[in-house]
Amino acid sequence: MANIFVRFWSFSTGWLHSSQSRLEASRPEIVYNQALKSEKKKYEKMEDAVSGLVYNRKQLEDNIDNGRRELEEVQNMLDQAVVDAQSDDKAVAEEAMMIGAMLQEQEEALLEKLATLTESRDSAASRIDEYQGKLVEFQAKLKRLDDEKDTAVAQAQVDTETIRLNREISGMTIDDDSQALNELRQKMGRLHAKASMTEEMTGKSLEERTRQYKLKARTASAQGKFLERVESSKAVTGSTARPQLSGDSDES
């Protein structure tokens, strides 16, 4: 039982593959459209990825701008703390030293943060440039494939028409109108043959009846002549002597 299902599956898949191949050969635009559809999906995914990179780059640039503004504020406060730390007022100087140390830590953290953000932004920009170049190449590939489709479909139409014309010229056309004309010619030929046959049958029947009539007439005539000879012989001799035929002479 398992072998039956395996054979059926193999037959079904083989038949479907054969049917698909014939369909693809007769309709190349279907194959090209499927290929274009698949390639366009790849392009759209790549485009989405590049769009994500562009968005991330914009976020990084905004963060860099915000970090720079914050750094500028901290550095301004640091400058003021440096001035206050040199004040003759001991309390002011001590407070400035404490605040200045914290501001110094903030400045260093901001500088490190800005360096990281800038590196990430530059890396994103580099990848964006690379992928944008690939997108341009992909667009050119899609254009070439679309042009190839138009050329292949046009060539297939020309080839199909050429085959049809060659078949028509060689008498192998399978055009519906030509097929109908051939069938009409065959019907007319059979009708003519039937008419000739009935005509021959009618002629033979009349000829046969005439021949039978002639045969019957000859038989009746022969019988009548024989009876006349018999009666003539009885009347002359009263015997069974053979009657003389016309043209015979009497013996002396």
208-231, pLDDT tens digit by residue? Answer: 667 777 788 878 787 777 677 767
DSSP for 173-199 reads ---HHHHHHHHHHHHHHHHHHHHHHHH
All structural domains of the chain with their residue ranges: 2-144, 200-233
pLDDT in tens, 78-100: 999 999 888 888 898 889 899 99
- % of the chain surpassing 90 pLDDT: 33
DSSP for 66-112 reads HHHHHHHHHHHHHHHHHHHHT-S-HHHHHHHHHHHHHHHHHHHHHHH
pTM given for the model? 0.49
> In 3-state terms, the chain is what percent helix, strand and coil (to 5)?
90, 0, 10
Q: Architecture of 2-144 per CATH?
A: Orthogonal Bundle (1.10)
Of 162, 153, 161, 144, residue with least CA distance to 31? 153
pLDDT in tens, 148-202: 888 888 888 888 788 777 877 776 555 566 677 777 788 887 887 777 766 665 5
